Amino acid sequence: MSELVAYGTEVSSVFQLIGNLENDITKSIAWALAQCPEFLKSVIKEVISIDINPQNVRIKYQEFEKDKGITDLEITDDNSFYITIEAKRGWILPGADQLTLYSKRRNILESPALHKVIISMSECSVEYANAYLPFKVVNDIPVTHLSWKNIYELANLAKASSNITQKNLLKELMKYLGGIMTMQAKESNWVYVVSLASTKPENCDLTWIEIVNQKMNYFHPFGMNGWPKEPPNYIAFRYDGRLQTIHHIEGYTVTKNLHSEIIEMPDVQEEHEYFVYSLGEAIIPSKTVKTGKIYASGRKWAMLDTLLTANTIHEASEISKQRMNDE
C-alpha cells in the first residue's frame, strides 16, 4: 500500500485529511454518528441513558440562531431527546456565557423532548470537567461532558454490533481521535529544560528531584508566569550545575489537586490549575552538559540533538534559536 503524507505527516486515517481543528473534529464525529447507528445509539445511551431508533434521528451541524451563536452539533429525534454539543480543542471547557446562550436557543426551548442536555466535548477528563464546568444545570437543562477518550471508547464498543463498512469507519475514527487525544506535537524534538531543586514542595514528603526520579512525575502551573499552556513533547531537568536527564512526556493531566496524581503532595485544592506529567524513561547525556549562562531557576527551550551535543544548555538553546532564524 502506498504511503500518503499530508503537511509532512503520514496519514493513517481519512479523517486526518479533514483536519484537527475544533470544527474538523466535530465534522468527523458527526459523520461517524450519521453513518454508524450503533455508535449513535451508544453515545445517546451514555449521555441520557435511553434507547433510541437511529432512523428517527437528525444530526445538525453548525446551526445558527440570531443572538444565540452557532452550535457545533444538535442531535434530536424531535420527540424523546434534544442534545446540543459544544466541542473544544485540548483541555478547554465552554464558558458560562456560551452555555447560557445555548440554553436559550429556540430549538431546544420549543422541543417537546423529555430529555434535554447540553454536552461539552473536549480532551478534558470527566473528572476535570465535573470540577470546572461553570454549570451542572443551566435554565433547567443539564450540562454534562464527554471526553475524546469517552468517544473513542464508545466507538470501540459499537464496532462489535456494526457491519463491516461501519466497523472500518469506526476504526478510522478511533485512529483519528487517538492522534488528537493529546495536544503534544508528536513530531517536535523541542525540549523544555527546567531547574530541579533539592528542596521539597510545601507540605510534600518528597523533594523535587525525588518526584522526578522516584515517581517519574513532574508538575508546573498551567500557563502562568511564562509556564507552557500546552505540554511539551520532551522535558529535561538540570541541577548541580549540569543537565541530568531528558524525558519524553508519556501523558499528562490538568488538575487543581496535585494529591490526586502524586499522593505525597498535600490533599488541597490549589487556586490555579497545574499540568502533571507522566515521564518516560530517562535519556542520560553521554557527556557532561553544563548549565552555562542561565540564572538559577531559568527555563530554556532547546532541540533534543543540541542538548546531547552542545557543551552547555545555554549553547544548545542558542544553536536551536539560530536554526529557527535560518529557516
Per-residue pLDDT of the chain (327 residues; tens, 9 = 90+): 555 555 556 656 666 666 667 788 889 999 999 999 999 999 999 999 999 999 999 999 988 888 888 999 999 999 999 999 999 877 678 889 999 999 999 999 999 999 999 999 988 778 778 877 888 999 999 999 998 889 999 999 999 999 999 999 999 999 888 877 654 444 578 999 999 999 999 999 999 999 999 999 999 998 888 898 888 889 999 999 999 999 989 888 889 999 999 999 999 999 889 999 999 999 888 889 999 999 888 999 999 889 988 999 999 999 999 988 876
Give the span between the Cα atoms of 91 and 33, in whole angstroms: 23
* Contact (CB, 8 A) for 13 and 175: yes
Paired with 220 in beta bridges are: 275
CATH number of 190-326: 2.30.130
In contact, 29 and 173? CB cutoff 8 Å? yes
The answer, as to whether pTM is greater than 0.75, is: no
SS3 letters for the chain?
A: CCCCEECCEECCCHHHHCCCCHHHHHHHHHHHHHHCHHHHHHHHHHHHCCCCCHHHCEEEEEEEECCCEEEEEEEECCCCEEEEEEECCCCCCCCHHHHHHHHCCHHHHHCCCCEEEEEEEECCCHHHHHHHCCCCEECCEEEEEEEHHHHHHHHHHHHCCCCHHHHHHHHHHHHHHHHHCCCCCCCCCEEEEEECCCCCCCCCCCCHHHHHHCCCEEEEECCCCCCCCCCCCEEEEEECCEEEEEEEEEEEEEECCHHHCCCCCCCCCCCCCEEEEEECCCECCCCCCECCCCCCCCCEEEEHHHHHHCCEHHHHHHHHHHHHHHC
Distances 188 to 106, 173, 185 between C-alpha atoms, Å: 45, 24, 5
- All three cell numbers of 299: 527555563
**What's the rounded Cα separation, in Å, for the pair 311 and 317?**
11
Asked if 224 contacts 232 with a C-beta cutoff of 8 angstroms, the reply is no
Per-residue pLDDT of 285-323, as tens digits, reads 888 999 999 988 899 999 988 998 899 999 999 999 998
Place of cell 557532561: 288
CA distance 239 to 291: 8
Q: What is the distance between the alpha carbons of residues 71 and 62, in angstroms, rounded to a whole number? A: 5
Angle at 294 between CA 291 and CA 299, to 5 degrees: 95
From 98, 86, 82, 78, select the one nearest 61 (Cα to Cα).
Answer: 86
Closest by CA to 100, choosing from 115, 86, 111, 79, is 86
Q: 208-213: list long-range contacts, CB under 8 Å, 24+ apart.
A: 209/237, 209/239, 211/262, 211/264, 212/237, 212/245, 212/279
The pLDDT value given to residue 183: 44
Cell of 218: 513532574
Q: What is the pLDDT of residue 138?
A: 95
Cβ-contact 258, 265 below 8 angstroms: yes
Most distant CA pair in the chain, distance: 71
